[in-house]
A and B are shown apart, each in its own frame.
Chain A
């Protein structure tokens, strides 16, 4: 079960040692991309949710406006906050499965065993 080889404990095969891989531009790019994706996602989430909360606090009248005979603007906006949160999650998964994971697999295969 515990086949946890400490990183860097390489032996003979493969092309790159753990140290070489860590220093490689490709790995640094991967780390940078994931960091960027996380930060963009988080910023959009913050704008959406805290924007909504601050709007309620600052101007409840905006959300109390009627958009139908009785329905207020706040109702679709509340639903939209949830939908946007889900869409952000989904976009992250699409990005990670489509472009991040293949790169992870490629780098892993370059590592000495």
Chain B
């Protein structure tokens, strides 16, 4: 996007027939600003309420373990359904048809895997971070450092993608400058996390998930209303106006190896996302953790089933040329459809929901980043596991401020850069660095300190290096003619190697104390004896 949007609009108005859809996107929209202010005011009032209940470290990181399974299910959905899912996938379906739908399914399938492998043991073994689980039987310092680095790296790449995306979206939808948008996101999000901790962040997620689900449902219903509520009629229109190709698998999946590798990153990346894993400590016990995954899977599944309808409807009602003219990536398909269906008011609502989505996701990421810094590094590495409540909460708040400033700084630094690959990178590091160590520490008696540390470092470095030399970065971002490796998403290799390294190094460095503790750990893993 180099042209000012108003100029784009003018060109469009001149170029197209009078009845062709036009848009006010890019201009300051009073309705969206009003909606946005209401959301911010309501969430800040909640933060004020939450602040009074947020004194101890358990309250700051884990909302005092007082969140119900249903609330956590919604909050998990809120953490996961980012702007990239909402705007990105509807845009991808609008511009690339069925391929976008393939992509959507990949975003859901991690949830059952999370349930089967991680959710309950994580809740029973840990306290505030996933590093608690990995370090449970092992030597605290080296494992905590490695796990915190893996966690913070994952969160940072995810955050950069969110912040850059938010600046661009806010600029497009509200007509305010990019830098100002970054600072607003940073300031509001810091207020939530700093004062209200996990309790406020949870409620922000719940409100945002509710708004997003309502917004997308409204979009779907209104859009289907144009086709007598018949999806078949919508597909018929897609076929006649765009072509049957839009309803068939296209270029996204041509190489099964590539597709499986991407699928592995999406599926197991979820199992290594610190801001998602952290949510399991907010519920009272393993049973509630389990139920919250079911609720989350339901909400997110519903979301990914209806989002392609929004995309297909946008492609015929708004038309592809206008969508790609406003934003090459198609990110504005859903807001444009909202404008077409419900005018300024509905556009304003959807734009505000999209902004709230970004705010909430960044708040969750910040809390996760801050807790890795304060709970893992400060308390367990610097203070050797002996910090007072007061010291830990203070460290967490300092961590929050640092992370917030870094997020805004990186958002501004990466302005205009192609950062789409960073979400993929975050998932790939999560799946290759965090997930193998987490799983092995839960299920394998022979896992050792050296094995865990080696697995995390190798997984993180390998996935990062391989993405840099893959076509995703080497060609698309660095503009070299040919990539060093062919795989666009190397997760299948980096994750496998991380598991192999963790296994081999553990075999070479047997650790008696860790093995002895494994039996005791089982009481806690399976029965929740001694779980916090």
Contacts and interface: CB of A to CB of B under 8 A. Distances in A.
Interface of A: 1-2, 4-8, 18, 21-22, 27, 30-31, 34, 37-39, 41-42, 45, 48-50, 52-54, 56-58, 60, 63-64, 68-72, 74-75, 78-79, 81-83, 85-86, 88-90, 92-93, 96-97, 101, 104, 107-108, 111
A4 B532 contact: yes
A108 B246 CA distance: 56
Given A70-B238, A74-B247, A42 B529 contact: no
A108 B529 contact: yes
Given A58-B256, A78-B105, A70 B297 contact: no
Contacts of B247: 64, 70-72, 74-75
Contacts of A49: 105-106, 109, 263, 267
Contact of B259 (A57, A71, A104): A57
Nearest 5 Cβ contacts at the A-B interface: A57-B256, A64-B248, A70-B239, A60-B249, A7-B523
Contacts of B116: 37-39, 41-42, 45, 92
B98 A6 contact: no
A89 B105 contact: no
17 contacts: A2-B532, A7-B523, A53-B260, A56-B249, A57-B256, A68-B232, A70-B232, A70-B238, A74-B249, A75-B235, A82-B304, A82-B305, A83-B305, A85-B111, A89-B115, A93-B291, A107-B527
Nearest to B296: A89
> Which of the four size classes fits the interface of chain B?
35 or more
Nearest to A78: B101
B210 interface: no
Given A56-B253, A72-B98, A86 B298 contact: yes
Nearest to A60: B249
Nearest to A52: B105
Interface in B49-99: 56, 58, 98
Contacts, number: 176
Contacts of B239: 70
B520 A18 contact: yes
B117 interface: yes
Given A68-B235, A93-B290, 11 more contacts: A31-B526, A34-B526, A45-B112, A53-B259, A69-B236, A70-B239, A71-B231, A72-B98, A75-B98, A78-B104, A78-B308
Contacts of B115: 41, 89, 92-93
B109 A7 contact: no
A72 B243 CA distance: 12
Nearest to B98: A74
Contacts of A39: 116
B108 interface: yes
Contacts of A53: 102, 106, 253, 256, 259-260, 263
Contacts of B111: 85, 89
A38 B115 CA distance: 8
A38 to B, nearest CB: 4
Contacts of A81: 105, 108-109
Contact of B293 (A38, A58, A89): A89
Contact of A56 (B259, B527, B530): B259
Secondary structure of the B side of the interface?
A: helix
B260 A54 contact: yes
Interface of B: 56, 58, 98, 101-102, 104-106, 108-109, 111-113, 115-117, 231-232, 235-236, 238-240, 244, 247-249, 253-256, 259-260, 263, 267, 287, 290-291, 293-294, 297-298, 301, 304-305, 308, 519-524, 526-532
Given A38-B116, A50-B260, A74-B247, A45 B109 contact: yes
Given A4-B532, A71-B232, A78 B526 contact: no
Contacts of B524: 7
A41 B118 CA distance: 13
Contacts of A38: 116-117
Contacts of B56: 1
A75 B287 CA distance: 35
Contact of A111 (B238, B287, B529): B529
A22 B267 contact: no
Contacts of B260: 50, 53-54
A57 B254 contact: yes
Contacts of B108: 81-82, 85-86
A83 B112 CA distance: 11
Contacts of B235: 68, 70-72, 75
